[in-house]
Structure 1
Amino acid sequence: MLSSTMIVTIVRKGWGNTALEASVKAGATGGTILSGRGVGVNEKDSIFGIPIEPEKEILLTLTPGSQADAILQRIVEAVELDKPGNGLAFVVPIENIVGVHHMASQAP
């Protein structure tokens, strides 16, 4: 089976589609956007002294390992992950995939 990875990108609400579009332009075949909440070191906001957790969008992108670096770089550029407070992304190796038939058909 072909080596697969998952790129996990966490961005501010409203930026998930921008990250998804960038990943598709770089060769990804799609992605899944989930809603979440959380606070990073650069996002300690409060209203009337009550801390708030900003809403986030989490993009999950399954891709062959050989494409991960190019896709990740395009995401970083599109949502400016190199600037503090804009989010983060990381790559996770995947051992097995079930139900993603277009990726299974790429196996040697």
Structure 2
Amino acid sequence: METGIYLIVTIVNKGWGDTVLEASMKAGAEGGTILLGRGVGIHEKQTILGISIEPEKEVVLSVTYPDKKDAILQEIVRAAELKKPGAGIAFVVPIAQVAGVVHLFHQGSQSNSEETK
């Protein structure tokens, strides 16, 4: 089943998750989820006494419709300064199947709503 919805994933340094979430909602997202994570990018490799340190990250997940995804992504890039090296990354993934977010389908067709039950 084609859901017609997308997942915007943004990975930023700890402390930037709220900025990303606020920016995405300002641009039309209905909400989002912030998860904590660890990892390093090409510009972040750090060591102390030869021991690698993995900086903490925040992963922001937002589900949205195709007509809003570009505006949301652009606002996230602007607000989180993602054009700066090491600031983070954001990408969009089409969602093939979904369960548990039936409210998203109230705007969509009735057939999509019935298929997710």
* Structure 1 unaligned regions, length at least 5: none
Asked if structure 2 preserves the Cα contact closer than 8 Å seen for 1:10 and 1:56, the reply is yes
**In structure 2, how many angstroms separate the alpha carbons of the residues matched to 1:58 and 1:2?**
23
The count of aligned residue pairs is 108
| TM-score where L is the length of structure 1 | 0.96
- Higher RCO (Cα < 8 Å, 6 or more apart): 1
1:24 counterpart residue number:
25
1:76 counterpart residue number:
77
Work out the percentage of aligned pairs sharing the same amino acid: 60
**In structure 2, how many angstroms separate the alpha carbons of the residues matched to 1:47 and 1:53?**
11
TM-fit CA distance, 1:5:
0.2
**In structure 1, how many angstroms separate the alpha carbons of the residues matched to 2:56 and 2:10?**
14
Matched, 1:35 2:36: yes
Q: Which has the larger radius of gyration?
A: 2
After the TM superposition, which of the residue ranges 13-22 and 94-103 deviates more from structure 2?
Answer: 94-103
The one-letter code of the counterpart of 2:105 is A
Tell me which stretches of 4 or more aligned residues in structure 1 moved more than 6 Å: none
The one-letter code of the counterpart of 2:62 is T
